[in-house]
């Protein structure tokens, strides 16, 4: 009896203690993130699955690592060409990965008659329009698996096959019943590991597989749209919610961002949960990145950006030429976020290796002398010059190029940009 009382008392004491600890820690840390919905959890498993590449060595996260703000986290690439190697060794694209977070918020690619501007889509040139699956990020998600310089699978049925065979916390058929009702020919497994193979499916199975491939893209987009990717948990958001205060330096940077720096003309900052982009396209006159691997095979390469996409879509010359060299305004959320020691690259070609570098470029592009060659960012900063723009046409000279900011003001802007990383704890 006594013993029972003692144990009972101890248990009660323990329970009270646990409750107290619970209350105290609940007051200190933010509420636990909402659990992912089944479709988001499926999308997450797919996003991180390296098996979904030719050599089972690359996932979406290889080039879009959450801890680096959903871009690549490998210095070997970021410090140089900034273009990531695909599943096949030695295969490279020609652009730097942008953030895969906050990509779902982009409107469907369209021409805004009133503003006279192209708006929206995914990719630096907007070519994942969203017209197919209703969201640019879903259209986008069908690209990398089959891109020979990315995950390099040669048949969408191979993506479906590997997703259907996978052992995920949430299986494909839990979310999309019937998606895996496909009779796979013998040897599918081996064939999917071979470059260029096409899986011979009956017309019915091919139709099911195509539908499943759409579902896979929609699941990825659902994950990219979840609170885990689009977290809105930066210090900037906490300040908006009156949970934190800006330091003097951050406040100064914010004022420059909205004022003298003209940044918010394109990187919109208004209201709750701003995305720091207006989804339009501009040519900032960023120099070519001389370390871009594309020049090894194609020394004359020039990135046409939006103009190239419009040209390939059959628009008239006068229309696409007016957009030559323009790239989508990226979100600035998570722009500074990186694990210790990881260098980040900025701009469509990763020319800049520091926030200071790109801010200094906005500030001084039109007043420093032209470098005598294709200098890297470090060389240009050391020589106090900027190389010629990669594309001269359509360069924006109205909103940037000579901002007359002091060094202290540039550093304040950098401090402000560093407030935009998710994961801030008040
Ligand atoms: C080898 C590196 C690599 C892999 C793997 C990769 N990406 Fe990307 N991603 C890029 C690059 C580079 C771009 C920009 C390409 C362009 O603009 O032409 C990009 C663009 C994007 C964008 C557009 C963002 C925006 O705002 O426009 C999204 C979203 C995205 N990737 C998601 C994914 C998903 C989902 C996967 C997996 C299915 C994936 N990526 C696999 C390199 C990669
Ligand atoms: C005229 C529109 C415009 C203005 C004004 C503008 N930006 Fe940008 N910003 C862009 C575009 C477009 C890009 C991508 C350009 C490219 O890669 O070719 C970009 C890219 C960036 C990047 C690189 C992001 C990444 O993930 O690669 C940073 C950082 C940035 N801007 C900060 C600023 C700051 C700070 C200011 C104010 C000093 C500013 N921007 C003003 C349009 C603008």
CB 159 within 8 A of CB 143: no
Atom from ligand 1 closest to the CA of residue 141: 35
Of all atoms in ligand 1, which is nearest to the CA of residue 143? 38
pLDDT at position 198 is 96
Residue 134 burial (10 A CB sphere; 0-12, 13-18, 19+):
exposed
Give the separation between CA 328 and CA 321, rounded to whole angstroms. Answer: 16
Place of tokens 């096409």: 198
Between the alpha carbon of residue 91 and those of residues 30, 53, 85, 88, the distances in Å are 43, 13, 6, 6
- Tallying the residues shown for the chain, one arrives at 426
- Measuring from atom 11 of ligand 1, which residue has the nearest CA? 97
Write out the two tokens for 222.
């659902």
Distance of CA 127 from the midpoint of ligand 2 (Å): 19
Residues near ligand 2 with C-beta < 6 Å?
261-263, 265-267, 282, 284, 286, 327, 329-330, 332, 335, 346-348, 355, 358-359, 362, 396, 399-400, 413
Which atom, in ligand 1's list, is nearest to the CA of 330? 26
- Distance (Å, rounded) from C-alpha 216 to C-alpha 221? 9
Distance separating alpha carbons of residues 206 and 219, to the nearest angstrom: 20
Q: What is the pLDDT of residues 246-301, one digit of tens each?
A: 999 999 999 999 999 999 999 999 989 999 999 999 999 999 999 999 999 899 99
Predicted local confidence at residue 14, as pLDDT: 47
Residue 319 CA to ligand 1 centre (angstroms)? 26
Q: Which two tokens stand for residue 309?
A: 């996409």
Q: Which residue has its alpha carbon closest to ligand 1 atom 35?
A: 141
Give pLDDT tens digits for 115-173: 999 999 999 999 999 999 999 999 999 999 999 999 999 999 999 999 999 999 999 99
Pocket test for ligand 2, best of 265, 267, 309, 349 (most atoms within 8 A of CB): 267
Nearest to 356 by CA among 341, 344, 370, 372: 344
Ligand 1: list residues with CB < 6 Å: 47, 58, 60, 62-64, 84, 86, 93, 95, 97-98, 100, 103, 122-125, 137, 140-141, 144-145, 150-151, 220
**For 61-95, what is each residue's pLDDT tens digit?**
999 999 999 999 999 999 999 999 999 999 999 99
**Assigned token pair, 388:** 């010629």
């Amino acid at each position: 009896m006594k013993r029972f009382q003692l144990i009972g008392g101890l248990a009660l004491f323990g329970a009270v203690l646990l409750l107290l600890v619970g209350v105290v820690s609940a007051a200190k840390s933010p509420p636990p993130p909402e659990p992912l919905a089944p479709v988001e959890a499926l999308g997450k498993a797919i996003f991180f699955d390296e098996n979904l590449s030719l050599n089972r060595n690359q996932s979406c996260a290889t080039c879009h690592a959450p801890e680096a703000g959903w871009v690549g986290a490998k210095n070997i690439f970021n410090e140089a060409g900034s273009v990531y190697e695909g599943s096949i060794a030695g295969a490279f694209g020609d652009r730097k990965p942008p953030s895969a977070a906050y990509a779902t918020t982009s409107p469907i690619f369209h021409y805004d008659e009133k503003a006279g501007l192209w708006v929206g889509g995914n990719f630096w040139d907007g070519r994942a329009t969203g017209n197919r699956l209703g969201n640019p990020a879903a259209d986008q998600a069908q690209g990398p698996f089959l891109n020979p310089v990315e995950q390099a699978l040669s048949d969408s049925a191979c993506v479906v096959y590997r997703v259907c065979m996978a052992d995920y916390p949430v299986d494909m058929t839990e979310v999309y019943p019937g998606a895996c009702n496909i009779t796979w020919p013998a040897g599918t497994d081996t064939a999917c590991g071979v470059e260029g193979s096409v899986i011979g499916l009956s017309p019915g199975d091919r139709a099911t597989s195509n539908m499943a491939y759409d579902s896979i893209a929609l699941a990825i987009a659902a994950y990219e749209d979840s609170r885990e990717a689009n977290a809105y948990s930066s210090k900037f958001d906490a300040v908006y919610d009156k949970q934190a205060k800006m330091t003097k330096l951050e406040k100064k940077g914010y004022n420059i961002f909205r004022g003298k720096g003209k940044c918010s003309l394109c990187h919109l900052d208004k209201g709750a949960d701003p995305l720091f982009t207006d989804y339009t396209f501009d040519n900032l006159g960023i120099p070519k990145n001389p370390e871009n691997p594309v020049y090894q095979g194609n020394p004359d390469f020039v990135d046409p950006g939006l103009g190239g996409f419009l040209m390939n879509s059959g628009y008239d010359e006068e229309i696409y030429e007016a957009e030559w060299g323009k790239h989508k305004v990226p979100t600035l959320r998570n722009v500074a976020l990186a694990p210790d020691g990881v260098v980040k690259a900025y701009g469509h070609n990763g020319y800049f290796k520091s926030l200071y570098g790109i801010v200094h470029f906005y500030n001084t592009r039109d007043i420093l002398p032209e470098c005598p060659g294709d200098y890297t960012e470090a060389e240009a900063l050391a020589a106090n010059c900027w190389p010629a723009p990669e594309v001269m046409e359509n360069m924006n000279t109205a909103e940037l190029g000579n901002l007359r900011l002091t060094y202290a003001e540039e550093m304040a802007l950098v401090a402000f940009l560093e407030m935009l990383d998710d994961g801030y704890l008040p």
